[in-house]
């Protein structure tokens, strides 16, 4: 199997994987970064969302062979201590129910808030609509994104 | 403060303390014995060891408390709320409490199940007793140290004080306390004195969740572990004829391709099958690989021939089968009062409607997976399962081990919704490990989960009512289901006891499609049918729909029928609360309301949905909810459950469609199966009825009324009645939605 050098959470990581292996499984199986979740495998649910050069991206669709130049941030690399305003807002509003989709939700929200510092409710609802929460904690996610935006301004 | 002596059961029978080698005090208690006062101890208390207990509290020398939460956490919040109850009565600061998921005790576990919204309800008394008893023992130990009467001492926030102003922390007396006799007469706090129960406490796993730490079954790894992907029959009931693994074996990382099924067949022959076991006898093909991706890829290129030993039913066939069941006279009568037929024959008007819902997959966000390591003398299992006790027992029997040699670790679950009550993926993982003699992680794809799993049964209800002199005089409901029928006390829910002539009957058809419990089993759709029907009756009778419910409830208030467990008074109070909070009937122009109320899982819920029309299309803007679940242990967690339950109910009523074509599911992932998303969700506003009654379930009861409230609001807005889920499909058919 070929070797790749990828840039994850500020570090260079060397991995051996088939060229078509999705970044999701490289993160989870090879690098033990299991915060990024598997939900559907077809970019429909958003559980596997990471940042690729700052852009929210579905890691289940990114083959390891084409991302060697990109800077990848996962939930583990968002902050050292959970003090990113989005993480703090999640905690303040006690957002999660089962919690499984929340890493993906947080990664979508952080990338979105970088682009839109003062989003309207409607903009939040549209920006977050690609992330499924089966427990339907949507009301709290929506409020938490708003609170995070206020913290960041 | 008034002393509240609990004489239901003797604390000596369920609680025991000991000193820990590492310092500190360990309190073990048995939830079952505590919850069932009539239970007789099987052995002498003195000979019990800690294996006989299933819940523990550790108080360390520095006063820190560790609670080993015994019930599985599926997102319903018990890992937070159950320890809160202990901490309250123990009287310690919540910041000093650490919560750890308990390990399955296969020997003496009883109700270690997450299901039926029963975790809090069945443990409320036991947890309060345990906390209060431990506190009293600590106080007694301090009193002995000070040589004063224990009644002159007080304890609060982990500090014991006496009349002289002396102070001792819990940690300073644990050693002595552990050796004292367990007191029989302890005071429970009065609700007004609560400092933790009723507070907004954040989920105890919050930090791990927001930091992405390993937490769920899928995150678990062990040295030497391989990955397994299972090819199951594409049509329920098929049997494996042959397979070709040559392409799969060419894939990098694929280690082996094996079959499983033999152990399952042997287990079925044993005749010990319990209700969590739903596996068929067929062989399955399993790809063993070094990593998940290789396992998934390997399975994709397997080719297999499956034999049809089954009728290849399509959704249209199911539809006809259900109608036939409704039309036939043969059925199982579940409750009958008075004479419905006679009342129909003398009615001013008879209203009859039929409601239909499809099969539904659970779609937990964390796909089914499990870790198993079967070695010569023991079995180690780790993962997300709602019924750990049954899972361990089945695996032991299946592989011929003593259940005491099965060690099952529970992880946090990425959703349950009933799917994880059935341990098929545990049993498969265990058989795979037994065959390959290696630790293995079984992984499922979304497609595996959606097409080869377990479904909510497809159901039709026909409801008929007689109206005479402005009253509902007769009510007849028939349920037709593919799979099994409504269970337990559901036939005695509203409107049983409210209408003099009343009949509920059921019939079913056994298909090869595996069905099972799905969040709020049966009531999830029954409530929609019934509550839509009552809305129609109110319009027929020209009375306010809420007033109709309240009028009917008067008839059940004085009932001496023991089968009826819902309360007319509590339901009425709940309905009145939602009526007030939602400003029923006083909305601005262009806002349309729909009402529904339902009792399930011991909790009374009433909901009002509001719809606005945007370019003629209905937009659900808001749902106001009133809930009577007794004492609210953790308001934040409680609201979360209700918000989620309501949105889940709306999502499935509006969008969820699942069909079969020639025996095969037509939907296999979220591209063709629609779940509700944020831009489609209304705001949910939750209000709790305030009372001092014992807490009841919340994981499920918010869901059942949601579909009815929305359907009734749609009718108010558009004059279109919904009789079939999903509503979007119905609205499209009737040219409302483009």
Residue A91 phi/psi, 5-degree rounding, is -70, -45
Q: Strand pairing partners for B191?
A: none
User: How do residues B478-530 score in pLDDT, each as one tens digit?
Assistant: 999 999 999 889 999 999 999 999 999 999 999 999 999 999 999 999 999 99
Query: From B200, which residue of chain A is nearest by alpha-carbon distance?
Result: A94
Burial (CB < 10 A; 0-12, 13-18, 19+), residue B267, is buried
- pLDDT value at residue B36: 36
Question: How long is chain B?
Answer: 738
Query: For residues B714 and B723, is the Cβ–Cβ distance under 8 A?
Result: no
CB atoms within 10 A of CB B729: 16
Find all residues with CB under 8 Å of B488, minimum gap 6, and list them.
Answer: none
Burial (CB < 10 A; 0-12, 13-18, 19+), residue B199, is middle
Please answer yes or no on whether A1 and B252 come within 8 Å at the CB atom.
yes
Write out residues 351-410 of B within 8 Å (CB-CB) of A. Answer: 363-367
**Local structure of residue A2 (DSSP, 8 states):** -
Please answer yes or no on whether B678 and A42 come within 8 Å at the CB atom.
no
Helix residue ranges per DSSP H, B30-118: 31-35, 78-90
Please answer yes or no on whether B671 and A44 come within 8 Å at the CB atom.
yes
Say what percent of chain B tops pLDDT 70. Answer: 89
Contacts of B203 in chain A (CB under 8 A): 94, 96, 99
Find all residues with CB under 8 Å of B376, minimum gap 6, and list them.
Answer: none
Tokens of B4: 């509240």
Of A28, A100, A138, nearest to B647 by CB-CB distance is A138
Strand B15-19 and strand B332-337: the pairing is unpaired
Find all residues with CB under 8 Å of B630, minimum gap 6, and list them.
Answer: B691, B692, B693, B694, B695, B696
Of A42, A132, A140, nearest to B677 by CB-CB distance is A132
pLDDT over threshold 70, residue B70: no
Q: How far is CA B486 from the centre of its chain?
A: 16
Q: Could you please state the CATH topology (level 3) that the domain comprising A3-77 is classified under.
A: Ubiquitin-like (UB roll) (3.10.20)
**Local structure of residue B664 (DSSP, 8 states):** E
Tokens of B332: 């199982």
- Helix, strand or coil for residue B566? coil
B75 part of contact set with chain A, CB < 8 Å:
yes
User: How do residues B715-733 score in pLDDT, each as one tens digit?
Assistant: 999 999 999 999 999 999 9
CB atoms within 10 A of CB B123: 24
Contacts of B363 in chain A (CB under 8 A): 134
Question: What CATH code would you report for A85-152?
Answer: 1.10.150.120
Residue A113 to residue B517: CA distance in whole angstroms: 40
Write out residues 620-679 of B within 8 Å (CB-CB) of A. Answer: 636-637, 640-641, 643-648, 651, 669-671, 675-679
- pLDDT value at residue B735: 80
pLDDT over threshold 70, residue B115: no
Q: How many CB pairs under 8 A join A and B?
A: 190
User: How do residues B358-405 score in pLDDT, each as one tens digit?
Assistant: 999 999 999 999 999 999 999 999 999 988 888 999 999 999 999 989
Class of domain B224-309+381-401+410-451: alpha beta
**Residue B170 banded pLDDT, cuts 50, 70, 90:** very high
Question: How close, in Å, is residue B294 to chain A by CA atoms?
Answer: 8
Residue B132 phi/psi, 5-degree rounding, is -70, -40
Burial (CB < 10 A; 0-12, 13-18, 19+), residue B180, is middle
Residue B105 to residue B724: CA distance in whole angstroms: 45
pTM of the model: 0.92
Is the domain covering B339-359+456-501+508-733 a CATH 3.40.50.620 domain?
A: no
B222 part of contact set with chain A, CB < 8 Å:
no
Q: How much is the average pLDDT of B2-28?
A: 56
pLDDT over threshold 50, residue B738: yes
Query: For residues B537 and B467, is the Cβ–Cβ distance under 8 A?
Result: yes
Please answer yes or no on whether A139 and B414 come within 8 Å at the CB atom.
no
B684 part of contact set with chain A, CB < 8 Å:
yes
Whole-number CA gyration radius for chain A: 15
Residue B551 to residue B539: CA distance in whole angstroms: 15
Burial (CB < 10 A; 0-12, 13-18, 19+), residue B77, is buried
Residue B593 phi/psi, 5-degree rounding, is -110, 150
B32 part of contact set with chain A, CB < 8 Å:
no
Please answer yes or no on whether B365 and A33 come within 8 Å at the CB atom.
no
End-to-end CA distance of chain A: give it in Å, rounded.
47
Contacts of B223 in chain A (CB under 8 A): none
User: How do residues B243-284 score in pLDDT, each as one tens digit?
Assistant: 999 999 999 999 999 999 999 999 999 999 988 999 999 999
- pLDDT value at residue B557: 96
Residue A82 to residue A84: CA distance in whole angstroms: 6
Question: How close, in Å, is residue A112 to chain B by CA atoms?
Answer: 15
User: How do residues B552-609 score in pLDDT, each as one tens digit?
Assistant: 999 999 999 999 999 999 999 999 999 999 999 999 999 999 999 999 999 999 999 9
CA B733 → CA B481, B671, B727, B730, distances in Å? 24, 21, 10, 5
Q: Strand pairing partners for B23?
A: none
Please answer yes or no on whether B678 and A74 come within 8 Å at the CB atom.
no
Do the domains B339-359+456-501+508-733 and B11-211 match in fold? Answer: yes
Among all chains, which residue has been given the structure tokens 């500020």? A10
Question: How close, in Å, is residue A97 to chain B by CA atoms?
Answer: 4
Annotated domain spans of chain A: 3-77, 85-152
- pLDDT value at residue B112: 42
Here the ipTM equals 0.98
Contacts of A9 in chain B (CB under 8 A): none
- pLDDT value at residue B22: 66
**Residue B50 banded pLDDT, cuts 50, 70, 90:** very low
Residue B123 phi/psi, 5-degree rounding, is -115, -5
Annotated domain spans of chain B: 11-211, 224-309+381-401+410-451, 339-359+456-501+508-733
B713 closest CA partner among B531, B556, B561, B560: B531
Residue A146 to residue A118: CA distance in whole angstroms: 8
Mutation site, B77, B207, B209, interface A, largest A CB count within 10 A: B209
Q: Beta strands of B318-387 (E only): which ranges?
A: 332-337, 349-357, 360-361, 369-374, 379-383
CB atoms within 10 A of CB B367: 28
pLDDT over threshold 90, residue B130: no
Residue B241 to residue B570: CA distance in whole angstroms: 58
Query: For residues B498 and B556, is the Cβ–Cβ distance under 8 A?
Result: yes
CATH architecture of B11-211: 2-Layer Sandwich (3.30)
Please answer yes or no on whether B291 and A126 come within 8 Å at the CB atom.
no
Please answer yes or no on whether A25 and B648 come within 8 Å at the CB atom.
no
**Local structure of residue A30 (DSSP, 8 states):** I
């Amino acid at each position: 199997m070929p070797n790749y050098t990828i840039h994850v959470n500020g570090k260079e990581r060397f991995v051996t994987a088939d060229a078509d292996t999705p970044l999701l499984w490289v993160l989870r199986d090879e690098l033990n970064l299991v915060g990024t979740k598997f939900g559907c495998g077809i970019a429909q649910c958003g559980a596997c969302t990471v940042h690729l050069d700052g852009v929210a991206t579905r890691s289940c669709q990114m083959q390891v062979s084409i991302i060697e130049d990109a800077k990848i941030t996962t939930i583990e690399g968002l902050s050292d201590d959970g003090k990113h305003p989005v993480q703090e807002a999640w905690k303040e509003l006690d957002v999660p129910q089962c919690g499984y989709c929340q890493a993906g939700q947080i990664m979508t929200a952080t990338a979105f808030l970088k682009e839109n510092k003062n989003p309207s409710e409607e903009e939040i609802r549209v920006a977050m609509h690609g992330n499924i929460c089966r427990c339907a904690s949507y009301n709290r996610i929506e409020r938490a994104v708003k609170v995070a935006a206020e913290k960041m301004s | 403060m008034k002393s509240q002596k609990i004489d239901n059961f003797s604390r000596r029978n369920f609680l025991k303390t000991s000193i820990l080698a590492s310092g500190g005090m360990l309190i073990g208690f048995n939830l079952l014995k505590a919850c069932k006062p009539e239970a007789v101890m099987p052995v002498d208390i003195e000979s019990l060891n800690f294996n006989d207990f299933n819940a523990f509290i550790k108080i360390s020398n520095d006063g820190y408390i560790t609670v080993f939460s015994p019930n599985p956490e599926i997102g319903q919040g018990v890992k937070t709320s159950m320890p809160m109850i202990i901490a309250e009565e123990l009287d310690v600061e919540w910041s000093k409490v650490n919560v750890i998921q308990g390990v399955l005790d296969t020997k003496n576990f009883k109700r270690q199940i997450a299901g039926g919204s029963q975790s809090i309800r069945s443990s409320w008394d036991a947890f309060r007793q345990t906390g209060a008893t431990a506190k009293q023992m600590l106080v007694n130990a301090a009193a002995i140290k000070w040589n004063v009467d224990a009644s002159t001492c007080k304890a609060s926030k982990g500090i014991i004080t006496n009349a002289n102003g002396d102070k001792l922390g819990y940690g300073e007396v644990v050693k002595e306390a552990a050796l004292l006799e367990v007191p029989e007469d302890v005071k429970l706090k009065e609700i007004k004195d609560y400092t933790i129960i009723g507070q907004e406490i954040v989920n105890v796993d919050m930090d791990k969740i927001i930091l992405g730490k390993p937490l769920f079954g899928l995150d678990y790894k062990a040295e030497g572990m391989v990955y397994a992907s299972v090819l199951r029959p594409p049509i329920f009931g098929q049997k494996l004829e042959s397979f070709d693994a040559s392409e799969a074996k060419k894939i990098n990382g694929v280690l082996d391709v094996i079959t499983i099924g033999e152990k399952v067949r042997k287990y079925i022959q044993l005749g010990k099958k319990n209700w969590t076991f739903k596996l068929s006898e067929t062989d399955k093909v399993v790809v063993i690989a070094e990593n998940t991706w290789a396992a998934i890829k390997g399975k994709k290129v397997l080719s297999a021939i499956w034999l049809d030993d089954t009728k290849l039913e399509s959704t249209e066939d199911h539809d006809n089968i259900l109608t036939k069941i409704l039309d036939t006279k043969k059925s199982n009568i579940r409750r009958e009062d008075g004479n419905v037929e006679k009342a129909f024959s003398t009615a001013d008007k008879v209203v009859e409607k039929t409601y239909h819902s499809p099969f539904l997959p659970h779609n937990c966000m964390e796909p089914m997976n499990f870790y198993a390591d079967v070695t010569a003398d023991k079995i180690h299992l780790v993962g997300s399962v709602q019924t750990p006790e049954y899972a361990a027992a089945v695996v032991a029997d299946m592989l011929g081990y003593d259940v005491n040699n099965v060690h099952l670790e529970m992880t946090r679950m990425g959703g349950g919704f009933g799917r994880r009550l059935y341990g098929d993926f545990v049993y498969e993982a265990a058989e795979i490990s037994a065959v390959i003699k290696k630790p293995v992680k079984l992984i499922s794809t979304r497609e595996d989960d959606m097409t080869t799993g377990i479904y909510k049964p497809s159901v039709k209800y026909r409801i008929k009512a007689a109206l005479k002199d402005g009253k509902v005089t007769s009510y007849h409901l028939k349920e037709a289901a593919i799979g099994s029928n409504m269970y337990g006390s559901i036939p005695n829910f509203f409107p049983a006891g409210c209408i003099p002539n009343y009949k509920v009957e059921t019939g079913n058809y056994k298909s090869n499609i595996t069905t099972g419990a799905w969040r709020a089993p049966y009531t999830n759709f029954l409530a929609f049918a019934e509550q839509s029907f009552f809305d129609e009756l109110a319009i027929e009778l020209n009375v306010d729909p809420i007033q109709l419910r309240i009028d009917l409830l008067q008839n059940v208030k004085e009932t001496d029928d023991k089968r009826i467990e819902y309360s007319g008074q509590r339901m009425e109070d709940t309905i009145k609360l939602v009526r007030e909070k939602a400003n029923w009937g006083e909305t601005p122009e262009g806002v349309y309301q729909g009402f529904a109320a339902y009792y399930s899982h011991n909790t009374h819920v009433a909901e009002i949905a509001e719809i606005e029309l945007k370019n003629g299309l209905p937009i659900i803007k808001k749902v106001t909810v009133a809930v009577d679940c007794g004492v609210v242990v953790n308001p934040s967690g409680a609201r979360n459950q209700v918000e989620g339950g309501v949105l889940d109910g709306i999502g499935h009523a509006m969008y969820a469609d699942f069909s079969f074509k020639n025996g095969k599911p037509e939907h296999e992932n979220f591209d063709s199966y629609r779940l509700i998303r944020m831009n489609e969700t209304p705001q949910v506003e939750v209000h709790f009825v305030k009372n001092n009654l014992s807490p009841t379930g919340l994981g499920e009861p918010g869901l059942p009324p949601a579909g009815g409230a929305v359907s009734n609001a749609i009718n108010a807005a558009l004059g279109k009645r919904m009789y079939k889920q999903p509503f979007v499909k119905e609205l499209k058919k009737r040219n409302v939605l483009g």
